[in-house]
Chains A and B, each alone.
Chain A
Amino acid sequence: MNEYDDKWEDRINALLDGELSADDAELLKAQASDDRELARAIIESYQLHQAMDQINVERAPDSLTKRLNAIPREHRSKPAFSLFQPRWAMAIAAIPLMVITISLMRPDTPSASEIAQARQEMAIAFAYLDKAAVITGREIESTVGHTMANAVTGSVNKVIQSENLTSKEKEA
């Protein structure tokens, strides 16, 4: 197809598409009256245009419509995470159960604050026992004599001192 053809083809198609200006249409008409080939091309183009009008978009078969409508069901995108999926619901329900089980199995290890409080209470108790030993010793002494008092308070003091030593060792 040469440049001449392209030029007239453009105009013929523009004419059929309803896009040719009135001036260009007149020019085409004038040219066609002197050019039999061009006149024939215009007539044949009209005939093709009329034939094209008889062709419509084809109706898709019902079988295809069914296949197309089934696509969302067959190609449902899987959500990455959903709390409502059965496996996730089961997993979430199991979490409290696991926490309770672990806490029951856990060895009874006191916290740092509990240890500090226990030490304080032990120190108070030993101080109390010291005082009690002195008082007891005085009462026994006044009742049964100094020798007996020493025997009793001495054994008490030994127990207290040994307990105190054990406690300090543990602290160390």
Chain B
Amino acid sequence: MSRKYRQWVKEYQDQAWTVARYILKDAQEAEDATQEAFVKLWKNQDSIDPDRIKPWLMKVTRNGCLDRLRRRRDNVEFDESYMAGEVSGPMQGAATNETAAWLKRAISGLKEPYRSLVVLRDVNQHSYEEVAGMLELNLAQVKTYLHRARKQLREQLAEVRP
């Protein structure tokens, strides 16, 4: 059983960490949230469908992160100051990693569930069906919300372009 668990850690830790990192914007808290999710996985492994370990883990990680946000009374809404203070525009820098860094911050600034949708679908590359299961939405809702999220990002990207 422990060997199976270690395999899950190897396969899913990066994806769970990425979800936590984007939602919480704090490395230490993201580590704590990811650990909590894996503790739940360890304790409930016998009751989880083996074929649904990944979506189960992503859902639990996300829910844990949102609980943490509520507890610390953080503003889940779009944080204008967070963006304005740090973003000068990806296209002003020549390096493509600046674009990536800008985009990461922009994704972190999205409202829920847009942020989770973009992270799960566009960053972690889960299928639409998997994302629907993780967020307990239907497929049409996932597509509609994701399109809105992408549109917001697209518009922000256009604004910061020279």
Give chain A's interface residues, CB within 8 Å of chain B.
Answer: 1, 5-6, 9-10, 12-13, 41, 44-45, 47-48, 51-52, 54-61, 63-65, 67-69, 71-72, 75, 77
Contacts and interface: CB of A to CB of B under 8 A. Distances in A.
Interface stretch (B30-38, B70-78, B131-139): B30-38
Interface string B30-68: 010011001100110000000000000000000000000
Q: Interface residues of B: mostly helix, strand, loop or mixed?
A: helix
A68 B13 contact: yes
Chain B CB within 10 A, most for which of A45, A47, A60: A60
Contacts of B122: 52, 55
B25 to A, nearest CB: 13
Contact of B147 (A6, A59, A68, A69): A6
By CB atoms of chain A within 10 A, which of B14, B43, B146, B147 has the most? B147
Interface in B16-36: 16-18, 21, 27, 31, 34-35
B interface, size bucket: 35 or more
B103 A54 contact: yes
Interface in B102-157: 103-104, 107, 122-125, 143-144, 146-148, 150-151, 153-155, 157
A51 B123 CA distance: 11
- Which secondary structure characterizes the binding site on chain A? helix
A42 B96 CA distance: 21
B43 to A, nearest CB: 6
Contact of A67 (B1, B35, B146): B35
A68 B34 contact: yes
Contacts of A58: 14, 17-18, 21
A111 B154 CA distance: 97
Contact of A10 (B90, B125, B147): B147
B157 to A, nearest CB: 6
B157 A57 contact: no
Contact of A44 (B1, B21, B123, B158): B158
A71 B38 contact: yes
B81 interface: no
A71 B39 CA distance: 6
B21 A54 contact: no
Q: Which 7 A-B pairs have the closest CB atoms?
A: A60-B17, A54-B100, A9-B147, A60-B13, A44-B154, A58-B18, A72-B2
Name the residue in A10, A57, A63 with the highest tally of chain B Cβ atoms < 10 Å from its Cβ. Answer: A57
A63 B32 CA distance: 11
B99 A54 contact: yes
A64 B34 contact: yes
30 contacts: A5-B151, A6-B144, A6-B147, A9-B151, A12-B147, A13-B146, A13-B150, A44-B154, A44-B158, A45-B150, A45-B154, A48-B154, A51-B90, A51-B100, A51-B103, A51-B157, A52-B123, A54-B97, A54-B103, A55-B122, A57-B15, A57-B18, A57-B124, A59-B14, A60-B13, A60-B34, A61-B17, A68-B9, A69-B9, A71-B35
